[in-house]
Structure formats: C-alpha cells, structure tokens
Amino acid sequence: MKLLQPDFYVCMYDGYGTHIDEITDTALILEPTLAVARGKMLRYFLAQEKHGKKALFNFKTRHNCTTFLSKNSPTMEMVKVLCNVMGYDLQPKDEENKTMDDGISFIEAATWYLTHHKSPFAEEHPELLALRDTALLYRILVTDTAHRRHVKLQRWTISHAAIGWKIKEPGGINSAKTQVDLNASCFNQEFVCIETKPKKSPADPKLWVKKGAAESLEKITEDDVLHQRQLPTFNNALSQEDSEYLLSALTAPYMRIPIVVSFFSTKDRVSALLNLQLQELLESVLFEPMRWTPEDAPDIRYVPAKGDELIGCPNGLLLNELEHAPDVLVSSMLQLTEDALYLNTGSYTSSSTSIILFVIRMLSGVHRFISFLLNDHNDDAKKTKLEARKKEKLEGYSKKIHEILIDKARPILVQWEQQAQDQSDLRHSCIMNAHLTILYRGVHYSENISLANVQPMMAYLAFLQTWHSPGLGQGAMEEEKKRRIREAKAADGDVRKRSSKQQSSREQAQAERLKIEKPLLVAEHVYFDMLNIHRQGLVKWFKKASAKEVDAVMQSILRVATRNQRLQSSGWVARSGDGNTGVFCGKKEEIEINIQSIELYFRNSHIEPVPNHMARTDDFALIFGKEPQHCALVAAHEHRQWVRLVGRSYNIRRWDEPKDEKRTMINMPHPIAEGERGFRWQGIEYSRPFPSDKIRPEERWILKVVEPTILSKFGQWKKVPYVKEKRFFMSKEPVGENAYSTSLIAFDKGTWRIFKVVKHLNVCFMYVLLEHGRRMYPSLVYTSNTRYCYYSMKPDTDDRGSPFHPLLRNEAGKITGKVALKDSVVISRDVKDDIEETFTPERFLRGVIPAALTENFFFWQRDTDDHLVGYPKELHHPDFQYKIRVRLIDFKNNDNKEKEEEEEGGEEKEGMKIELSSQDCEWMRTSPLGPIGLDTFVKVEERSKNLPGRMPFDLTKHDAADSHVAREMLKRLEKDIKLHAEMENAKKVPGLIGLMDDDFDIISSENPDASALNALCSKGSTFLQNLITNLLELRQQDTNQIHLLTKYLITIANNVELDQNRSDLLPKLRDPLQHDDNEDDDNEQGDEKKRNTPKNSRKTSNNSGESWSELIQAVAPPPPPPAAAAAA
C-alpha cells in the first residue's frame, strides 16, 4: 500500500459528495473519547487528501447496492498501477487454470482482480480488499437507517459476514467495455442502500424555517428568523415568542449551547420537553460537535469572522464549552434537572416520566464529559493539562451533579423500576435499569473508588446484560421489529398526505421509531462504553477489595440480574490462571461472574433469560407462570436445544419441527417391511386392509360401527383419502368373538389416525398421534358417542340434511381434522433417587385419562416406569390435598391383567379382600364399635345420684311474676323439669370397667387398702391396654376396607351401561345395604346373639350366599375403551 500513497487516497465522501467532516458535524457523539478520536481521524484524512490526487473506491451506491466503476476511474487506474508494479498479468487465468480469451477487455480483467476471492490481490494484498469493503460500509452507514435491510435471526458464521462482490447480471458490463455494474451482498442477501442524504440535524434552523425564500439560503441568520410570519410551535409546546428566541439561538452555532440550555431551565418551559422534537433539538445542541478545526488553526482576529472555516473546535463544542466557560451551562443543567424532578407523580406511567428520563440522560452525559476533562484529558503526556482554576471549578460542578443524580434522581428511578417489575413490565424495567446505570457515567473508576459506586453500577449493568437483547430491543424478535418499522413508515406516509392534522401523527411515528432505534431510550453503546472504559479500574479495585466487599457486589449482581431479592451468596473468590482475570466463582463453583463483561455463567454456560421461543409457549406459562426464569445452555444439537433453569431442577428441551415424515419416533407406527403394506404399532402388526371382503363373520361388528362413522362424513369409501391410498389397516391377527375392543390404523398425508372400536358399547373413538419431543402421543379428536368419552366434547348442533344414524346421535369432534408438525418444548424435572419426570400436557391425555383429573391435576411421566403422577394444580385446594399415580396398562395383554392389579396393590395382603356381611353393615348403621365386643369393656349401671325434679331457684316472688302469663310459664317450667328428671333418672349410665364409681371410691378413700389399690391399678391398666389395642385394630381394618372400597366404587360409578346378563344385579347395586325379609326376622330374634358375635365376623358371607366382594366383581365394568398404553 505504501506504493500507492503518493498518488491515491481513500475517498471519504458519501453518495452526494458530502465529506466526512461535514457528515460528522451533525453526528451525536455521546462519548468524549469519540469526540477526541473524531478530531484525530479528520486530521489524518484531510492530510491524506491534501497530498493525494486521486480518490479510491468512490462508489456510487444505488438501489440494492448496485455500484458502478468506469474504465478511467482512479480505482481502475490503481489496479493497473499495482499490476504493473507487482508484475501481475492483465490477462489472468481463471479458476480452472486456463488463460482467458485474448479478447478480454481491461475492465473485465481489472474487475476480476478487484472482486474475485482467488485473485492475487486477495491472496497477496488482503488489506487492499479490506479497505475496499470498509469504504463501501462507510457509505452504507451514513445513509438513512430506514433504508437498511435487517439481518435475519439464525445461526451465522464469520464467513457469512464477509462482503461478496459480483458483476450484475445481465448487462453488468456495457457494450463499449467502459463501465461495470457491481452488486455487493452479505448474510445471503444484497444490501439496500438508496442514495439519501443523512438525516438533517434537529438543531439546524433550516429545518424549522417556513419553506420559501429562506429555503434556498445556505445559512439561516437571525434576520431570516425574525422576518418569518409564522414560526413552528412544536405542537403548541412553545409560543411564537419562545419559538423565535429558540430558533434565533440556533443561528449562532458557537454560542448556542449555553443559550438553549438556559432557555429550557425555567420552570414554565421544562414541561415543553414533553415534545419529542424539542428533546431531539436539545440533545443535538449539546452533543453535536459541529465544525472541526485543527489545534493549529489561525486565531480569529475580526468579529464577525470573515469565514465559517475559522469557527470551530478540534474536539467538539461541548468539550470546548466545559473547558473554557462551564458556568452557564452547568448551572442551567442543574436547575433544569431540579425542575424536571419536581414533576414526579410517583408513577412510571405518567406523562412527565419521559421528561425526567430525558433530563437525566442529558445531565449524565454532561457529567461524563466533565469527568473526561478531569481525568483522561488532564494528562501532561498528552499536553492537555487543565489550569488549576478550571480544574477546581469543574471538580465542584462534578460533585454537585453526582449528588443530584444519586441523592435525588436515583430514588425515583428505583421506585419506578420496582413498579415495572411488579407489573411484569420487562421493557420499562430495562429502561429504568439503563437510566440507573448512566447515573454513574461521570464516576471515575479506579482502585480507590468506593463500594457505594461499584456495587449499584455493576448490578444495573448485569440486569441489562441478562434481560436486554442489544440491537433488537427488549423481547423483540425480528418480525416484531419489521412490523414496527412498517407501522412507522405508514404513519410517516399518512403525515405527508395530510395538511391540517400533521403534528399528532408525526409525533406517533417518531415515538414508534424511537422504540426501534432506542428501545432503552439510552443509546446501547453508552453503557457498553462505560464498561469498556472502566473495566481496568474495576479489575484493580476487585484485586484490592476485601472478601466482604466482593461478596456484597456479587450478591447484588445475582439478586438484580435474576430478579430474586432473597438470593444469598458468599465465599466468592477469583479464579486463577491465564485468561481468568476478573472471573469470580461462588462457593459451589457452579455460578461464575466475569466482571470485565458483567456476564453470568452457570456450569460454564452463559446465564440468560429463557429464550422467547421457549418462554412464550403455553406449556411453559402453565408451569412457571409469568415470573421470569434464567437458564444456562446444556447442549445445542442440530435438532434440539437443551437448557437448564438456574437454581431449579428443571430442564427445557426445544425440538425443531420434524421435516422428514419417515423419521422414526417413539410410539410411532412404522412400516412392516419394504414392499409390504401395513404398519407395526405397539408390538401389533396391522396389515389387513380395511374395509375388505375378507373380514371374518365374527368381525362384522367392527364394520358395523366404523362404517357409519366414516361414511357420514365422506359418503362413499372411495372418497376416503386413506382408503383410496390403501393406508387403512386392521390387525393381522383375527379379532376373537369374545374380544372387548380392537384398533385400526390409518395414515392420511402426515396424520396418523387410530380408531378404537368397543364391541359391547357400539362406539368408535378416533385418536390422532401428536408429536412432542420426537415422541408420539394419542389425543382424542372424535367419538361416536360422548356418553362413553373420557374427554368432554361438544356435540354437533348444526342443521343436518338427513336424520342421525342411531349410533351417531351423540357424536362429537372432527373425524377429518389433520395435524401439522411444529416445534415442541419439553419440560422435565429431577426428583429424588435420580428419577426424571416429564410434563405431559392435557392435550396428550385427552381420552386416556378422565377430564375430571386433567382439569385439576398436572401430570408428569416418570422415566423409570412410564407411570403418570398427578400433582394438584392448586396446592391449597381443600378437595385435592393428595397426589395421583396412574399406572398405564397395555390392554392387548388381558391375560395378565389380574396379575398386574395384584402387583399394583403392593402391600395388599390376602386378609384385605373386601368381604362385608350384613352384620357389618348393621353395625356401621347403629353401633360402629360393635365389632370389638363392647360388653367386655363397658358396664351399664343406674345413676348414682338422681336429678331433682324441681327448679333450683324460686321466681314466684319476682315483681314480673304477678301476671297471668308469667304464672302459667312457671307452671310449665316446673312440669317440664320434673318430667326431664324422671326420664334421666330412669336411664342407665354406661361406664368403662375398672373406672366405675366404686373403683374411684377405693382410690379416693382416706385410708385405702394397699393390696386392693394395687390390684385395681393392675386390672385397670390391663383393661385400658386391651381396649386401645382393639380400637387401633378396628381403625386399621376400617382404613384398609375403605381404601379398597373406594377403588371399586369409583369403577362402579364410572360404569355407564351393563350387559343384559348383569342387569339382575342392578337393584343390589342401588341399595347394597338392603336385606331380605328372612334376614330381618333373624336379626329381630337374635339380638343377644349378635352382641356376642366375635370381632372377626366381618369375613362371613351374607345370607344370600353372596359376599360384598363378589357383588363388586360381578358389576365391575370391563377396561375403559381408550388405549391408555399408547402414552407409554
């Protein structure tokens, strides 16, 4: 490149010929280091242009970034010079090492050298091509942001970011071979770069002066403003007088900063900053650097100056103002902040919030520039030493600004941030944390800084690093951003078409565009610059800090970043070794924090909010609600992303959409063999076509139920898609005559349909297999009779053109619905003993488990036995204070059903079979403690003391007892008391043997007999011990019987219809406690015998010779119709 320096320089003009110094004059420079870097950059480029003669890479960009180069352009001339100097042939060889045609033109060869990735320029001089791409990107970046094309969200690599060049097709080279059109692209799409001038500065008075004669003027003066008949009022925010004053100040760029800031610092004008245009105007006045002049520029000797080229600053107006005349600016900013904070209403949704946040941004920016002058710019080595008087004054102003930001503004922002979190308003929570962060912009971070400045700043930065997505806005995906841009453009278009109602629409459009360009209202690079500039000082501070201070900062970071104020953390230590500078780990070494980037790691994975494509699913919201969750990446595969929640035992796995229909999944039917028709599912082969003439006579009941079900929707078998394509099968093995049910399988254009036909109910259920985490689950979508359905489905109530089929009168659901494959999110958790449970949503249990359970319980499937465990949805619901365990049974193996039921009982013994006699039922009705033999424990005696048959007091002498009514009431009371005493005295009182009145007389006598007393105590102790033992045994027996009875009673209650041969048991089922006449006679004649019945009499049969357990077994229904084993 040194060979080219004497004659060539890089062109730094935009498409309209505007130089970089003019473009940066109106650029918002919010960081003072960039303002100084701008001055150095302009000095370099202007020096290059001063000595150079020819501008390289002067691309004329047009729509779709089509640029052209002419044969005589300096860029093509540079190619020729470089080829001659380096000895490159202008007849190069192509990729196949073949020499190009002799007729190739110079412009084609030069273009090949300049754009091809295998040319000698790319291999030997890569810096030249990097300079080419930089020049193009510069032109794109200085255009209007509305014309840029957004990069799609997907997994990109570095190679995708490289700019690709190619000749436009067709007609990329003109017929005269003098010009070539080139297309540039990256990220698999062409740039969109329309030749538009950069956006005008809001502080430019030409933007606000009425169109007319003044529009053609190169410069607007104060006289031009004064002669305007109508000035803008900024949506009635300013009066005509105030607008004139403000615009007049803008005509004097070098003096505008103190004038404009003092203009808004009055109490009657601070509310005008509610207008977004005035906010942009004030921000531009403060942070636009304006005209650049070198440090060695000649002094201004005449006022007014003879030329504008002398009026300027080497490092921008704001640094110049603060260095030489800060009084008016800083005092006005302090007063403006005081007035703005006075507008606080206590709510972040108030309209005054935008004013307060804006003023805080401006004051923190000014504070940062003051800090730069005091620390970074005050350096003897850089020859930028501040005078002692100026330094003392700036230090005083810096202290005042820091006090008002921390002591007055910070409590307001903390209150608003808490309100936003309480409302689950994450966007405004991020906005408040961004403003809390910039409160510390002016703090100089070094090893001597206090904990009070380190701890909050790092906590707020951690919140933004964790919850905010830079470049997209909080929670905004690419499509959402595009939608906002379209709405903003539409609003702008409407503004251009209207004349009278312009202002409000333009305000809305600007507000919407502001959400896109500045989702935090704070420029994102501001807080990144804070971290980048101060990280060295932070690392030094942490090395010097005590363990207590380190723990305090780390705990604050964790609490704020995870939004969990109860989180406790201690024992943080710095990791040792190369590459671990600034990395601290907790006591358990699971969580790490990098203080240089404010990033949190869990088990070496970056901690971040759960991705939107996981957190926005219904299943995730059902389990975790609206509370934000953090996660760490466990593994990322081609089709699966696996994260684990931080501090919780939950795993979230996101599977992409299955693209290949032939992909094998768990519980998915698969073809039998190549060349054969049929499927195999759950160990059963389905290979007999359905319907078919080969259906056996004993299988005709299947066709009888299925035919009306399907033909009611299609009319004819040939119109059924899966029948027409011969993808409808029944089991290969014949269905027995005594079969309870059977299944049929159909495959219909990506949708698996399972037909379950129940014989004795004459009902057909249709399930579809739904994919979830590469596993297929059956879900009920149709039933021919809702009375036998586990899932509540709405019957069809539309008008019909023909009568119902008898079997379809109560049908519900859609038999023609299809299933679309999509992404799925699987939630699982670890429980004790290394058991993992996977959440099974309700939609995968429809028709498998009764809806009464799925409506009140969350079901999780265990990986050890595939059993389902139900947990109540409402933990404090009084009716559901228990868990449910559902054991999945494969009903195709009915022979082992009884064996499986015995295994389910686990601890159930032979003596726990349900065998209740009529005597047990009678005891339950009259004497629940009868089975223990009460006569051996209870003795009935007459009362030791009789009740008196009179009133204990005399009311006849009372003054109110003289009336006739009172005397009659007293007589009635005496009569009732006498009658009550006679009834009570005639009763016998039961008492426990050993604890009767006579026994207590022995104990309470003055001189008790020792031997009699010991015998009484021994007898009483033995008696009570036997009573307690019998009561506990009785309670255990009752508990066991109720446990078993509940199981069978639920089975009976869920049974809808009985076979004919069981109908004789229905009266007994309705009143199982009724007895026949003979049994009642026996009961009347044998009362004394019953009282002496031993306590194990519950195992005897009733008089009819039929035990209660036999009755239950007789009426117990067959297994339920759905294929419950399918979920396994």
Q: 4: which 2 tokens?
A: 């080219």
- Has residue 562 got a pLDDT over 50? yes
Strand duo 884-886 + 650-655: pairing: unpaired
Average pLDDT over residues 779-787: 91
**Which has the closest alpha carbon to 1043: 865, 907, 849?**
907
What pLDDT, on a 0 to 100 scale, did the predictor assign at position 479? Answer: 43
Average pLDDT over residues 620-643: 86
What pLDDT, on a 0 to 100 scale, did the predictor assign at position 344? Answer: 93
Which of 221-230, 341-350, 506-515, 667-676 has the weakest average pLDDT?
506-515
CB of 967 within 8 A of CB of 975? no
pTM of the model: 0.63
Q: Is the dihedral of CA 269, 272, 276, 278 positive or negative?
A: negative
- Has residue 640 got a pLDDT over 80? yes
Measured from the Cβ of residue 135, the count of other Cβ atoms closer than 10 Å reads 19
> What string of H, E and C letters represents the secondary structure of 965-994?
HHHHHHHHHHHHHHHHHHHHHHCEEEEECC
Distances (CA, A) of 279 to 203, 246, 272: 10, 13, 9
> Cα(220)–Cα(223) distance, rounded to whole angstroms?
8
pLDDT in tens, 684-716: 899 999 988 888 888 889 999 999 999 988 888
> Cα(374)–Cα(397) distance, rounded to whole angstroms?
11
Greater model confidence, 493 or 185: 185
Average pLDDT over residues 796-816: 83
> Cα(87)–Cα(81) distance, rounded to whole angstroms?
10
- Has residue 85 got a pLDDT over 90? no
Greater model confidence, 213 or 107: 107
Residues in the chain: 1128
Burial pattern 740-776, b for ≥16 Cβ within 10 A else e, equals ebbbbbbbbeebbbbbbbbbebbbbbbbbbbbbbbbb
What pLDDT, on a 0 to 100 scale, did the predictor assign at position 632? Answer: 86
What pLDDT, on a 0 to 100 scale, did the predictor assign at position 434? Answer: 92
Which of 79-93, 589-603, 815-829 has the weakest average pLDDT?
79-93
Tell me the Ramachandran region of residue 767: left when phi exceeds 0, alpha when psi lies from -120 to 50, beta otherwise: beta
Cα first-last separation, the chain: 70
pLDDT in tens, 370-390: 999 988 765 544 445 678 888
Question: Mean pLDDT highest for which of 158-162, 258-262, 606-610?
Answer: 258-262
Measured from the Cβ of residue 872, the count of other Cβ atoms closer than 10 Å reads 16
CB of 222 within 8 A of CB of 304? no
DSSP code, position 405:
I
CB of 10 within 8 A of CB of 48? yes
| pLDDT classification of 13: cutoffs 50, 70, 90 | low
- Has residue 491 got a pLDDT over 50? no
What pLDDT, on a 0 to 100 scale, did the predictor assign at position 97? Answer: 46
pLDDT in tens, 1005-1039: 777 777 777 877 887 788 888 888 888 988 888 88
- Has residue 492 got a pLDDT over 70? no
Distances (CA, A) of 787 to 311, 566, 791, 809: 91, 51, 10, 11
**Which has the closest alpha carbon to 294: 32, 47, 13, 20?**
47
| pLDDT classification of 956: cutoffs 50, 70, 90 | confident
| pLDDT classification of 1123: cutoffs 50, 70, 90 | very low
Strand-pairing partners, residue 862, are: 837
Greater model confidence, 141 or 277: 277
∠654-655-660 over CA atoms, to 5°? 170
pLDDT in tens, 717-741: 989 999 988 899 999 888 888 888 8
- Has residue 1071 got a pLDDT over 60? no
| pLDDT classification of 98: cutoffs 50, 70, 90 | very low
Which of 193-197, 234-238, 434-438, 950-954 has the weakest average pLDDT?
193-197
Contacts of 822 (CB under 8 A, 6+ apart): 657
**Which has the closest alpha carbon to 826: 773, 878, 862?**
773
What pLDDT, on a 0 to 100 scale, did the predictor assign at position 328? Answer: 94
What pLDDT, on a 0 to 100 scale, did the predictor assign at position 14? Answer: 59
CB of 79 within 8 A of CB of 39? no
DSSP code, position 38:
H
Q: Look at residue 853 and give its three-state secondary structure.
A: helix
Average pLDDT over residues 280-301: 86
Burial pattern 230-262, b for ≥16 Cβ within 10 A else e, equals ebbebbebbeeebbbebbbbbbebeebbbbbbb
Q: 726: which 2 tokens?
A: 């011969």
- Has residue 404 got a pLDDT over 80? yes
Measured from the Cβ of residue 302, the count of other Cβ atoms closer than 10 Å reads 7
- Has residue 909 got a pLDDT over 80? no
Burial label, 734 (beta-carbon count in 10 A; 0-12, 13-18, 19+) = middle
DSSP code, position 644:
E
Average pLDDT over residues 88-115: 68
- Has residue 104 got a pLDDT over 90? no
Which of 541-545, 632-636, 672-676 has the weakest average pLDDT?
672-676
Greater model confidence, 651 or 880: 651
What pLDDT, on a 0 to 100 scale, did the predictor assign at position 303? Answer: 73
Question: Mean pLDDT highest for which of 35-49, 793-807, 969-983?
Answer: 969-983
- Has residue 782 got a pLDDT over 90? yes
| pLDDT classification of 476: cutoffs 50, 70, 90 | very low
**Which has the closest alpha carbon to 182: 192, 169, 194, 198?**
169
Burial label, 474 (beta-carbon count in 10 A; 0-12, 13-18, 19+) = buried
Q: Could you tell me how far CA 307 lies from the centroid of its own chain? A: 60
What pLDDT, on a 0 to 100 scale, did the predictor assign at position 511? Answer: 52
- Has residue 398 got a pLDDT over 90? yes
Of all residues in the chain, the percent with pLDDT exceeding 70 is: 78
Token look-up 């990329």 returns 172
The stretches of 753-857 forming alpha helices (DSSP H) are 851-854
- Has residue 46 got a pLDDT over 50? yes
- Has residue 516 got a pLDDT over 60? no
Strand duo 54-56 + 8-10: pairing: parallel
Tell me the Ramachandran region of residue 900: left when phi exceeds 0, alpha when psi lies from -120 to 50, beta otherwise: alpha
User: Does residue 1117 have a cis bond before it (omega within 30 degrees)?
Assistant: no
Average pLDDT over residues 601-624: 84
Measured from the Cβ of residue 167, the count of other Cβ atoms closer than 10 Å reads 16
Burial label, 1069 (beta-carbon count in 10 A; 0-12, 13-18, 19+) = middle
**Which has the closest alpha carbon to 247: 235, 236, 233?**
233
What pLDDT, on a 0 to 100 scale, did the predictor assign at position 273? Answer: 94
CB of 121 within 8 A of CB of 113? yes
- Has residue 486 got a pLDDT over 60? no
Average pLDDT over residues 428-454: 86
- Has residue 876 got a pLDDT over 60? yes
What pLDDT, on a 0 to 100 scale, did the predictor assign at position 162? Answer: 83
Token look-up 């003055």 returns 1006
What pLDDT, on a 0 to 100 scale, did the predictor assign at position 195? Answer: 55
Q: What average pLDDT does the structure give for the chain?
A: 78
- Has residue 1061 got a pLDDT over 80? no
Which of 145-154, 589-598, 642-651, 785-794 has the weakest average pLDDT?
145-154
